[in-house]
């Protein structure tokens, strides 16, 4: 396990973990927030193996 110390905003901490998908690149960590666990799981399946730009395009459909 690798942990990187960061100050995470309280409002993000308050969101149920089952509604968040977390991805990272070499210089960014992205938190994707969903209205339901099912939508989160669908997004994860749909975006497996995608790069950040393509994943962000798909996420717009979930906002």
| Residue 3 belongs to some domain of the structure | no
Beta bridge partners of 34: none
| Residue 1 belongs to some domain of the structure | no
**Tens digit of each residue's pLDDT (9 = 90 or more) over 17-49:** 999 999 888 888 889 999 999 999 999 999 999
| Residue 46 belongs to some domain of the structure | yes
| Residue 5 belongs to some domain of the structure | no
From the list 51, 1, 49, 42, the residue with the least C-alpha distance to 21 is 42
pTM of this structure: 0.80
Q: How many domains in the chain?
A: 1
CB 29 within 8 A of CB 21: no
Domain that holds residue 54: 10-59
């Amino acid at each position: 396990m690798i942990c990187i110390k960061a100050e995470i905003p309280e409002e993000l901490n308050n969101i149920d973990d089952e509604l968040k998908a977390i991805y990272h690149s070499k210089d960014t960590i992205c938190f994707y927030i969903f209205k339901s666990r099912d939508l989160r799981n669908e997004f994860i399946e749909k975006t497996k193996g995608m790069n950040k730009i393509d994943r962000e395009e798909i996420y717009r459909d979930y906002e």
